[in-house]
Each structure stands twice: as C-alpha cells, then as structure tokens.
Structure 1
Amino acid sequence: MTEATAFAATKGAQIYRGTARRNFALGMLFVVGTINFVDRQLLSVLVEPIRADMQFSDTQFGLLTGLAFALFYAAMGVPVAMIADRWNRVKLIGLSCIVWSAFTAACGLASNFWQLALMRFGVGAGEAGGTAPSLSVIADLYPPAKRPFAIGLFTCNGPFGVFVGAAFGAWAAANIGWRNAFVVIGIVGILVAPLLIWLVREPMRGAMDTQKQADAALPFGQSLAMFVRRRSLRMVMVGSGLAAFVSYGMLNWIPAFLMRTQKMPLEAMASWFAPAAGITFGVGILGGGWLVSRAAERSPRAYGTIPALATAVLVPTFIAALLVDSWQLSLALMLVPMAACTAYVAPALALVQNLTPPRSRATAAAVLMLMFNIVGLGLGPLFAGMVSDALKPEHGDASLRWALMALMPFAVAAGFAQFAMTRHLDKDFAE
C-alpha cells in the first residue's frame, strides 16, 4: 500500500478517547449485528410452517439454514475482509447490511426450494461484510485487555438476535404469515444501515494498541501464514470449528426438536423458548468473554481453559435434556448447555484480534470465521438433518433426538482441542 493510499484509507478516521462515544459506536454495531442474526434465526423458527407450505425434507432444511448460507458467506468473507483492511469499515458494514436485508425481504417472495436457496445465497454474501469488519473496528475502540469483554458484548447480538427472531417469527407465523415476516425484517435492516454510516465515525487503526505496528495491510498469503506460524492460532481454528459444528447444529435444530419431538406448541416457542434462548446464549457469550478478560490478566491460558471447561459441562447436560419426555423439562435442562455451547465465541475472536496486527485483523477474523461457517454453520445443521432423515423410518418424530445426540462426540473433540491450545498461548503472547 502506498502512502497516498494509506492516507486515503484513514482519512476522516479518529481516535475514540471518550468512553461514551466508543460505547455508542459499539452499540450501533450491536444493533446491526442483531439484525444479521435475526435474519439467520428467522428461517429456523419458521421451519415448520415453511415445510408445510413447500414440503421440505430435513436434509433440505439443513442445506437452507446451513450449507447454502455458509458457502456464500465463507466465499465472500475473505475478499470483503481484505477490503475492510484497506477501506472505510463502517461504510462497508452499512452497505453490506442493505444487501443482506434486501435478500432477506426477497425470501418472502420465494415459491420453491431453489428460489429460497438462491435468496439465502444472497443473504450469506451480504452478511460476509458484517462480523469480521465489526471485530476490526472494535479492536480499534478498546485496548487489548478490554477486547474479550467488548467482543463478548458485541457477540451478544447473536443470542439477542435469536431471542428477537424466535419471538417475532413465532408471532409472525400466527398473525402475518412466514412470508411477511421476512419482508418486515428486511425492511428494518434497510432503514437501520444508513444510521450506522451517518452516526459512527471510522476509528484510527492501531490507536489502542500498546506497541506501534506497521500501517500497511498485509497480503492474504501473509495473513494466512500467521495461522500456520503460531500454534495457538492453528489450534483455535480446530477447536472453534468443532465447537461451531456443535453449537450451530444445536441452535438450528432445537426449535424443531421441541416442536416436533417434544410437542411444544408454536405459541410456547415465543413465550418460553425465545427468552430462554436469548438469555442463555447471551450468558454464555458474555460470560466467556468476561471470564477470559479477568483470568487472562494472570495467564493467557484462560483463552483455552475456560472454553474447554464449558464444553465439559455441555455434554452431559445436553444429553440429559434430550432424553426426557416433556418439552417443559427438556427446555429447563437445556438452559445450561445452551449457555455453555457459546462460551468459546468471544475468547476465540479476541485471541485472533490480539495476536494479529491492526491492518490484518478483519482478514484474520474472516479466516477464523471460515471455520465457524464452513465446518460449523455449513456442516453442523446439515449433519443433524441427514442423521434425522436416516433415522426417521425407524424412530419417526423422535429421529431428531438421536440426530442431536450425534453431535456430542464432536463436542468432546472440541474440548480436547481447546485444552491442547493452552500449551502454546504463553509463548505466542510473549512473541
């Protein structure tokens, strides 16, 4: 990057010195991120009315909520992140929000599986410009010690989006229909995006780092080489990919399991599951970030030990929740594993931000999110859907119980990878 290009990329940027201003910027990013997750969750909540209208199989639904979205999200993630490392990130996030919201609204116009899949491709491509650039912005709003908690606050847009999506989706299915639900949420995103561009200024890159680092953006090959060179970054890729496989498989299929297998009424989805999911996912993400922020002051090994402990709690509690008969008891027992399954998110994202230079952070975050989205979002829901379809002739509506149970060996593998990462963190942080 030439000096002129570097100047153009940072023109108008500022150092956020006031707490109120940086917290406002974080809040606006949170709102846009919430819209992102509402768009994703809406399809999972509306699966039963859409299946009744279009006659989808569980495998097809796994493709729609997982692989169809994730492939385009992942394919666009790295190129868009490289743009974010070279251009105004706030404008990029706002423009991306307009794109994914327009495709979300178009989902309400689909009349068959392939049309709906095409719209989900568009949603995935647009949302690629949301999370990775936002993480890069947050790293320039807060110093390294505060990043795990700040990123934890930001990534609470996931559980809050799950809550809003589940509550709104259940209400919409009963009152305005699933098609209008997509249109309404799409319009909301199109209206909010310009406010982000107007109200939030691009922060100065590297302003919050304790050491001065090179201002030039790294080529993709050099950004990728960081994951090869540093063992903790390699291990966080493996552990996070497996953890995402489990958490996305759980997130996308728990509503259908409760309604189909446990006979939970659609009205109860809005009044009971929506707040339970929103609170527990939020506790897991925010709690993981807060615990690591506190514990990492004594040892960077906390970036691995805390997610590993959360995974150890997840496995037995989720198995217990799947084996009971009533939806009330099943939902009650799921509170702990729904919190534990997201505890890895903020530590993993913060670790990558803290071990990479300012002008490669969006790209580095996108590389990590390739694992989140290809292995996690792309394959987790699809795997559960295929297992459910395979077991349906023998187990009927109970096939989803055993499909979700099949995710647990992957959770065990994630815990081992997260714990193995702790051996390398001291050395990598020292470097």
Structure 2
Amino acid sequence: MTQATALDAGAAPADRSIAVRRNFALAMLFLVGTINFVDRQLLSVLVEPIRADMQFSDTQFGLLTGLAFALFYAAMGVPVAMIADRWNRVKLIGIACVVWSGFTAACGMVSNFWQLALMRFGVGAGEAGGTAPSLSVIADYYPPDRRPLAIGLFTLNGPFGVFVGAAFGAWAAANIGWRNAFLVIGVVGVLVAPLLIWLVREPARGAMDKQQAADEALPFRQSLAMFVRRRSLRMVMVGSGLAAFVSYGMLNWIPAFLMRTQGMPLDAMATWFAPAAGITFGIGILGGGWLVSHVAKRSPRAYGSIPALATAVLIPSFAAALLVDSWQVSLALMLIPMAACTAYVAPALALVQNLTPPRSRATAAAVLMLMFNIVGLGLGPLFIGVVSDHLKPVYGDESLRWALLAILPFAVAAGLAQFAMTRHLDQDFAE
C-alpha cells in the first residue's frame, strides 16, 4: 500500500499527521478486504479437491460460489449499511470480519453440500459488513477529486486476494488439505479484526466535502430515490450489474476451465495463474481508478467512457483466450481480459460516493452492490455452471469452454450501458 502516499504528495508539514492517519486507515481496510476476497477465491481454487470429496455438479458449484453467497450478502448488505450510516463504521467492519472469518473456518468442518452451502450463507452475511462501510470511511478520509484513486487502491484487495487465495489454495490442496485451508484463513481474519478496531480512528462524516454534512442519516427510501432521480446513478446500476455478471463469472470459472478443459496441473495454478490473476486484476482496478481520477478533471464523462472502452477490449480478447487448445497460450491471452474485466469497479463505486451525501454513502454503496452481488456474483457463476451442465452430455469437459463464451453477449450489453451513462454525467455533477 505504499502507493497510497501518492494521494498526499506535496502535503504541508501540518497536514502530515492527517496524511499518515488516512493512508494507514486505507492500508488496514485493504488488509481486511483482502481477507474477504481470499475466502471467495479459495473455494474456486479448491473446487476440484472438494468435488472429489463431496461429488457435486457444476450447477451446485455455481450456487456455492455465486447465489448461496450473494443472496445472504445482498440481504444483509442494505440493513448493515444503514447501521453504518448511523453508528461507528470501523467497529462494525471489525465485528463483521470476526463473523465471516468464523464461518470461513467452519467451511473446513462440513461433510456434505448442504452444510457447505449453509456456511457460505454465513460468510455472505458477515461480509456484507465489509465493503460498503469501508467505502464510506474512505470517502470521509479523502476529498472528492482523490476518491477514485483511493477507492481504486482499496479495491486492489480483490486482485491481491485472488492472488493470495489462488496461491495459498493450490499449496494447501497439495500440503495440508482443503479443510485446513479454510481453517487457517478463518483464524487469520479473527486475529486481524481487533487490530482494525484498535488502530483505526473513525473519521468525521463529510469532513472532506464542501457541503455541510447532515446531522442525521437519510431514510432508506430517500437513499433509494437518489438512484431513481439521477440518471447516471440509474445507468451505473445497470452497467455495473452486467459488468459484474461477466467479471464474477470469469473470476469463479477460469481456474476450473484451465485445469479441467485445458489440462493445467494444480502446481501450475499456484506458479502461473495466481500471480497472473493478481497482477492483471490489480492493473484493471487501479488503472480504472487512476484514469478516471485524471480524466474526470476535464470531463466527468470519464466515469462511463473508460469502463466502456475496457469492456470493448475484453470481448474479443476473452473469446480468443477461450478458443485455443493449450493452457499456456490460453493463460497468456487471458491477461488482457482479466485486466479489462475489473476496470469498471473503482469508477462505479467512486461515482456513487461523489453523487450522494455523506450520511447516506454506505447505504448508497450497498444499493449499488446489490447489483454487483445479485446480478453479478449471484447469477454470473450460476449461469455458467448451468450452461456447462446442460452442454456436458454432448461436449464433455469442453462444455465449460462454451459456457464461458456464452457470457460475451452480457459484456456487450454492459459496454452499451456504460457508454449510454456518459450522456447524463455532466448534468448530474453540475447539480
């Protein structure tokens, strides 16, 4: 997280303590968010050893990595975010980390599909208290023009978590078993959570905004009304939901595609896929946030045009990566779409933070994340699993190749929605 110092380059000596405090807070929130994503990626990497133990289908795996997690994540997301808009957000994030880490550890003690699904429900409910309150804290530590980059740095926890989860999961499967892998990650989360509560200070709400912060949080209906009233917020919901459908589908199924369809060995997953995924997802998230931070100073249309351009790059490059026969060539070609598929994340989250008042930011972020998680995480992996099972009698292990190709029309729709949003951004920012 040393890159976070770039956010405060040139700060006066009197402001150094503020800079150190907020960059440290950003680093701690990044660490907690990384633990969140390690857990998600761990299940995807360990799918083949778990399937060997408990014998379930691609559709059931799609439920485990997608809908089972996303339904409880989404159901708890808005209520927890409303609490965050009214209570100490740092404490709430710490408590949530303990909850999801406990359920993560419990995943290592299950004996059948339904027990594992129940534990994933608990993980999803706990992780609902992570991202939205964290975004609200970051928005109160950084001014509006620095938020896209700050949020881009924070959301690097996703690709870094993918890297750690893939590398650790592949090592654990070969050395300590998939059950102990879940236990280890759960214990780490339980230990880190108290450090967050102890070391990170709750920031004053609205301290970095020009407008005066409201004394009371907005009711949920008023927070939701902002998405109805502002056209750019409506379009970012649609575009981000479709983009998340594609990116979560890719994230959850590329490891299984490389191993099952392309014949990639498990040890190569740790050696090659883990760093490739971590670096490319990171480039996409940080690059999207960095580009928007700079280009939006000239025109707020960057919040839509840059994600739309990334989606246009993703479509042909991902198709090419899926249609080759060698896992080495496929992984090399995957580098471009794996970077492009996450470029929408930081701009979408920053747009919502910048167009909503301080006392409703956690709730507004949770509303956006309903689309991320119900449409994206919930339905994207499940859709691929269902299509793969449907095609398996005819195509065998090749069915996963065609199931992944089936998400490309959703990528086209996402790019069109992101580009359409640009027409409304000038007016919504002026208001």
Q: Could you tell me how far apart the structure 2 residues matched to 1:368 and 1:352 are?
A: 8
1:39 equivalent in structure 2: 39
Deviations 1:83-123 (A, max 9, x none): 00000000000000000000000000010000000000000
CA contact (8 A) 1:260 1:397 kept: yes
**1:262-281 to 2 correspondence within 5 Å?**
262-281=262-281
After TM superposition, give the deviation of residue 159 of structure 1 in Å: 0.2
**1:256-295 to 2 correspondence within 5 Å?**
256-295=256-295
2:320 equivalent in structure 1: 320
Q: Could you tell me how far apart the structure 1 residues matched to 2:123 and 2:16 are?
A: 32
SS in 2 for 1:208: coil
Q: Could you tell me how far apart the structure 2 residues matched to 1:161 and 1:345 are?
A: 15
Q: Could you tell me how far apart the structure 1 residues matched to 2:133 and 2:281 are?
A: 22
SS in 2 for 1:207: coil
**1:14-413 to 2 correspondence within 5 Å?**
18-413=18-413
Structure 2 residue identity aligned to 1:138? I
After TM superposition, give the deviation of residue 210 of structure 1 in Å: 1.9
After TM superposition, give the deviation of residue 17 of structure 1 in Å: 5.9
Structure 2 residue identity aligned to 1:320? A
After TM superposition, give the deviation of residue 190 of structure 1 in Å: 0.1
After TM superposition, give the deviation of residue 216 of structure 1 in Å: 1.5
Q: Could you tell me how far apart the structure 2 residues matched to 1:254 and 1:213 are?
A: 44
Matched-pair identity in %: 88
CA contact (8 A) 1:66 1:380 kept: yes
After TM superposition, give the deviation of residue 16 of structure 1 in Å: 9.4
Q: Could you tell me how far apart the structure 1 residues matched to 2:110 and 2:326 are?
A: 35
Q: Could you tell me how far apart the structure 1 residues matched to 2:90 and 2:19 are?
A: 19
Q: Could you tell me how far apart the structure 2 residues matched to 1:381 and 1:72 are?
A: 16
Deviations 1:244-280 (A, max 9, x none): 0000000000000000000000000000000000000
2:3 equivalent in structure 1: none
Q: Could you tell me how far apart the structure 2 residues matched to 1:137 and 1:404 are?
A: 36
Structure 1 residue identity aligned to 2:225? A
2:4 equivalent in structure 1: none
SS in 2 for 1:111: coil
After TM superposition, give the deviation of residue 212 of structure 1 in Å: 1.8
CA contact (8 A) 2:311 2:414 kept: yes
Q: Could you tell me how far apart the structure 1 residues matched to 2:19 and 2:212 are?
A: 22
CA contact (8 A) 1:66 1:382 kept: yes
Q: Could you tell me how far apart the structure 2 residues matched to 1:117 and 1:308 are?
A: 35
1:417 equivalent in structure 2: 417
Q: Could you tell me how far apart the structure 2 residues matched to 1:251 and 1:37 are?
A: 11
Q: Could you tell me how far apart the structure 1 residues matched to 2:211 and 2:303 are?
A: 21
1:12 equivalent in structure 2: none
1:5 equivalent in structure 2: none
CA contact (8 A) 1:16 1:141 kept: no
Q: Could you tell me how far apart the structure 1 residues matched to 2:186 and 2:23 are?
A: 26
Q: Could you tell me how far apart the structure 2 residues matched to 1:39 and 1:121 are?
A: 13
CA contact (8 A) 1:148 1:289 kept: yes
- Gap change, CA 1:95 and 1:24, over 3 Å in 2: same
After TM superposition, give the deviation of residue 136 of structure 1 in Å: 0.1
1:7 equivalent in structure 2: none
Q: Could you tell me how far apart the structure 1 residues matched to 2:391 and 2:429 are?
A: 47
After TM superposition, give the deviation of residue 213 of structure 1 in Å: 3.5
Structure 2 residue identity aligned to 1:254? I
Q: Could you tell me how far apart the structure 2 residues matched to 1:16 and 1:202 are?
A: 18
Structure 2 residue identity aligned to 1:152? G
Q: Could you tell me how far apart the structure 1 residues matched to 2:38 and 2:339 are?
A: 18
Q: Could you tell me how far apart the structure 2 residues matched to 1:236 and 1:104 are?
A: 31
CA contact (8 A) 1:16 1:203 kept: no
Structure 1 gap segments, 5+ residues each: 1-14
CA contact (8 A) 2:108 2:183 kept: yes
CA contact (8 A) 2:308 2:416 kept: yes
SS in 2 for 1:428: helix
Structure 1 residue identity aligned to 2:325? D
Q: TM-score, normalised by structure 2?
A: 0.96
Equivalences, count: 417
Q: Could you tell me how far apart the structure 1 residues matched to 2:147 and 2:259 are?
A: 38
